[in-house]
Amino acid sequence: MSKITLGILGGGQLGSMLSVAAKKLNIRTVVYCNDRSAPAFNFCDEFIYGKYDDKNEIYNFAGKVDIITYEFENIPFETLNELNKLKTVLPKPSINRLIQHRLAEKDFINKLNIRTTRYVYVKEEKDLETLSDFLPGILKTTTMGYDGKGQYQINKIEQIPSLNIDFSKEYILEKLVKLKKEISVIITRFGNSKYEIYEPIENIHEDQILRYSKIPAIINEKLFDQSKDWAIQIAEELKFIGTLCVEFFIDRNENLYVNEIAPRVHNSGHLTINAYNVSQFENHIRAVCSLEQIPIKKISNAEMTNLIGNQIMPYRENPQLKENQFLFDYLKKEIKEKRKMGHLTTLK
């Protein structure tokens, strides 16, 4: 069989790690990204710079690849849909459209009788006046949010004017959960009832950005099973192909809620590169390229720490890693505050 070429939309760290996993499987990668200095440039076989709505460049990209996938949600549906007419796009564009919209995503999860936080749609400022029942809460843009961007915590109605909320956008208001813990479950689905699922990962966020992940998650057996069951149910209902992550909240009464779904590989799963025989990235490539499904096995417990902004510096200057430590520098040119620059995984 001739060598498969996989197209990846998005050139961030996830695109980089997908490219590395593809290389291991003898698959060529062409990354398409709207940032000329995107990190995946250093890891893929071919890099195309273009805007996500530039039809000419998008067609050029499609002509070079056999299959297309994407590393982040915020790609216009029209682009994925056009591409899908030329080459198979996985996960299906309709899945991305559903999940990139927080309201549609939460409605979908609730229809499966899976618990989410309480939420309500907010179209304009005056809608907020009657919603004290949802406070304290978090106002989130319905689209384009990530790493806490586009979110405002509202404790009292009176506070709203001082928050300078941009009401040209639409929002949902979510009741704040008194969090005990956050966990995530990563699953790679290959077809009907065919999937590989990783054990729940425990996550700690700082300023709404993931800071730290570990396995095993310290949770009771019921939560362990319920989170996996819900992830399977979601992946099956979506008829998902590839790797998907479900983020969960656990409240102080040990209730489980789905926070959100990421239709892609996920930051909390970076530890699977070192802690499992097959990583979330390799599994994604295997699923979208219809390669063999290999049963996953845990090699070790692990912790992963994100290196955000300047935190990468000491590791660049003098890595000094122990035998059980693995450093990933995303090779981003510019260090910015709150920007994920790399991560460190420690096997335990």
Six token digits for residue 215: 């396995």
Site string for ligand ADP, 189-208 (x = CB under 6 A): ----------------x--x
Residue 176's H or E segment, with its range, is none
Choose, by CB under 6 A, the member of 16, 70, 91, 182 that binds ligand ADP: 182
CB of 138 to ligand ADP, least distance (A): 5
Q: Which stretch binds ligand ADP (CB under 6 A): 89-97, 146-154, 291-299, 304-312?
A: 146-154
Is 138 an interacting residue with respect to ligand ADP (CB under 6 A)? yes
CB of 255 to ligand ADP, least distance (A): 12
Q: Which stretch binds ligand ADP (CB under 6 A): 18-26, 80-88, 141-149, 165-173?
A: 141-149
User: Could you tell me what percentage of the chain is helix, strand and coil, using 3-state DSSP and rounding each to the nearest 5?
Assistant: 30, 30, 35
CB of 204 to ligand ADP, least distance (A): 9
Helix, coil or strand: residue 124: coil
DSSP 238: H
In angstroms and rounded to an integer, the radius of gyration of the C-alpha atoms of the chain is 20
Residues 6+ apart with CB under 8 A from 115: 255, 256, 257, 258
Nearest to ligand ADP of 115, 205 (CB atom): 205
Give how many residues touch ligand ADP by CB under 6 A: 17
Distance CA 56, CA 63 (A): 11
Q: Taken in order 332, 334, 339, 345, is the CA torsion positive or negative?
A: positive
Q: Which stretch binds ligand ADP (CB under 6 A): 77-85, 105-113, 122-130, 139-147?
A: 139-147
User: Nearest 5 degrees, angle CA 284-CA 287-CA 289?
Assistant: 100
Q: How many CB atoms lie within 10 A of CB 55?
A: 12
Q: Which stretch binds ligand ADP (CB under 6 A): 9-17, 140-148, 156-164, 269-277?
A: 140-148
Choose, by CB under 6 A, the member of 112, 179, 313, 321 that binds ligand ADP: 179
Is 176 an interacting residue with respect to ligand ADP (CB under 6 A)? yes
Is 120 an interacting residue with respect to ligand ADP (CB under 6 A)? no
- Phi and psi for 160 in degrees, rounded to 5? -55, -45
Residue with tokens 């077809």: 191
Nearest to 285 by CA among 188, 171, 197: 188
DSSP 310: G
Q: Which stretch binds ligand ADP (CB under 6 A): 27-35, 143-151, 312-320, 325-333?
A: 143-151
Site string for ligand ADP, 20-59 (x = CB under 6 A): ----------------------------------------
Nearest to 149 by CA among 77, 72, 104, 207: 207
CB of 140 to ligand ADP, least distance (A): 6
Q: Which stretch binds ligand ADP (CB under 6 A): 92-100, 105-113, 137-145, 339-347?
A: 137-145
Six token digits for residue 161: 């004017």
Chain centre distance of CA 71: 8
Is 267 an interacting residue with respect to ligand ADP (CB under 6 A)? no
Is 117 an interacting residue with respect to ligand ADP (CB under 6 A)? yes
Is 344 an interacting residue with respect to ligand ADP (CB under 6 A)? no
Which residues would be at the binding site for ligand ADP (CB under 6 A)?
A: 117, 138, 140, 145-148, 174, 176-177, 179, 182, 205, 208, 247, 259-260
